[in-house]
Amino acid sequence: MAKRLVTDLDVAGKKVIVRVDFNVPHKGDVITDDNRVVAALPTIRYLLENNAKVILLSHLGKVDYKKTEEEIEAAKKKNDMAIVAKKLQEYLPDNRVIFVNATRGPELEEAVANMKEGEVVLMQNTRYEKGESKNDEELGKYWASLGDLFVEDAFGSVHRAHASTVGIPTHLPSAAGFLVEKELKFLGDAVENPVRPFVGILGGAKVADKLKVIDNLLEKCDTLIIGGGMAYTFLKAQGKEIGESLVDDEKLDYCKQMLDKAAGLGKELLLPVDTVVADSFPDPIDAPIETEVVDADKIPAEKQGLDIGPKTAALFAEKVKAAKTVVWNGPMGVFENPVLAKGTNEVAKALAETEGTTIIGGGDSAAAIKQLGYADKVSHVSTGGGASLEFLEGNGLPGVDIINEK
């Protein structure tokens, strides 16, 4: 059964609680990237245009309640949602955005009770509440009592069973917003019903972070490309010398199993054939660095691999350009350093030139493709790194699973 969508709800005159993802990067009071605010606008505007009263909930940053009271208060002050309210008002000049510096109590309740159609209330950071991340039953029930309907539009948070993602819709009729609908369509179609050839690209540091993704994608795709730091564990599993490169020795047997699995399924698992090496990891990360290119089986004992080499980049790009569906999660090297970003850039460029459906699975890959200027040249850039990974692993997403069916 398909999930109910916001367009399936009768929202006129109703108080609609919307879980959005306003976890924006910021320096002090300045938001450095407002893409997550922009991504939430279609759902918010739809509700306002249909005479709803919109109550927005989001987290911002982290609050670690295991730390001292002083550290907790500092984290709260750093992650005050007031800066987002100001930005949201800029995007909604014809609607009143009311920021409530509370997560429960009379101030919040009064603001909600006095709302008029076409107004927006943005509540303070959900993580100001200790029970948010524990899906505290009382907290979810309390927040649900503020509204008539619930819309889930924070794809970046649906992999977490929190009070604001699972607790609220336990008590209210619920639906998916436009952003969540878009994410599920792109990722779902790519993984479950891809136009072939289907190429998966995985990068990043550790094999351990993507065990289930590798396993699941091998079942689904025609070619699986492995780059980034995790490639060196696969190379070592093949018996190749990797020098001082990053390696996950506990996962060598797993890598051998995946290589055997690919062969058994008749799938292509591509690893680097050459690599960019240096004496040490750059410190700071964007510092100038001396590098050389060597074959992937000839990494000097004292060197470490930090990016895929030009032959590998060409090989990967060729596979990507011939694909009809591509899903990419994880950079090919230390892309934050301009010297070590060439491999990631070549793969990003290939995706931009591909005629098929190209999907970036959030996290570092999303940051990389934006940094390199290709974000508007791919089919979809996911807003949720963790949620995208969970989806690619074949796991359920608690914040989606709880949404009412049509």
Domain locations in the chain as residue ranges:
6-176, 184-392
Helix (H, G, I), strand (E, B), or coil: what is residue 76? helix
Q: Which residues, listed in sequence order, are joined to residue 200 by a DSSP beta bridge?
A: 224, 327
pLDDT value of position 390: 86
pLDDT in tens, the chain (406 residues): 589 999 999 999 999 999 999 999 999 889 998 989 999 999 999 999 999 999 999 999 999 999 999 999 999 999 999 999 999 999 999 999 999 999 999 999 999 999 999 999 999 999 999 999 999 999 999 999 999 999 999 999 999 999 999 999 999 999 999 999 999 999 888 888 999 999 999 998 888 888 889 999 999 999 999 999 999 999 999 999 999 999 999 999 999 999 999 999 999 999 999 999 999 999 999 999 999 999 999 999 999 999 999 999 999 999 999 999 999 999 999 999 999 999 999 999 999 999 999 999 867 788 888 888 898 999 998 888 788 888 888 888 999 999 999 9
| Percent of the chain as helix, strand, coil, to the nearest 5 | 40, 15, 40
Instruction: Report CA-CA distances (Å) from 304 to 229, 234, 287, 315.
Output: 10, 15, 16, 21
pLDDT value of position 210: 86
pLDDT value of position 84: 97
Burial class (CB in 10 A: 0-12, 13-18, 19+), 41: middle
* Catalytic, out of 14, 15, 19, 36: 36
- Tell me which DSSP letter residue 2 carries: P
* Catalytic, out of 104, 206, 212, 256: 206
Instruction: Give yes or no for a contact between 24 and 33, defined as CB atoms under 8 angstroms apart.
Output: yes
Instruction: Give yes or no for a contact between 362 and 39, defined as CB atoms under 8 angstroms apart.
Output: no
Architecture of domain 184-392: 3-Layer(aba) Sandwich (3.40)
pLDDT value of position 391: 86
Cα–Cα dist 244/271, whole Å: 18
* Catalytic, out of 61, 243, 386, 394: 386
Cα–Cα dist 59/127, whole Å: 6
Cα–Cα dist 273/296, whole Å: 5
The two three-digit tokens of residue 153, written as one number: 């539009």
Instruction: Report CA-CA distances (Å) from 92 to 31, 88, 183, 277, 383.
Output: 17, 6, 24, 49, 21
pLDDT value of position 357: 95
* Catalytic, out of 204, 309, 363, 399: 363
Cα–Cα dist 317/349, whole Å: 8
Element (H, E) at 224: strand 223-226
Cα–Cα dist 210/214, whole Å: 6
Instruction: Give yes or no for a contact between 6 and 178, defined as CB atoms under 8 angstroms apart.
Output: yes
Count of alpha carbons within 13 Å of 263, Cβ hemisphere only?
Answer: 6
Q: Do domains 6-176 and 184-392 have the same CATH topology?
A: yes
Q: How many CB atoms neighbour CB 264 within 10 A?
A: 9
Task: List the beta strands (DSSP E) in 90-192.
Answer: 97-100, 120-123, 149-152, 174-176
Q: Which residues, listed in sequence order, are joined to residue 381 by a DSSP beta bridge?
A: 360
Instruction: Give yes or no for a contact between 89 and 157, defined as CB atoms under 8 angstroms apart.
Output: no
Asked if 206 is an active-site residue, the reply is: yes
Instruction: Give yes or no for a contact between 180 and 400, defined as CB atoms under 8 angstroms apart.
Output: yes
CATH class of 6-176: alpha beta
Cα–Cα dist 402/255, whole Å: 35
Helix (H, G, I), strand (E, B), or coil: what is residue 73? helix
pLDDT value of position 361: 85
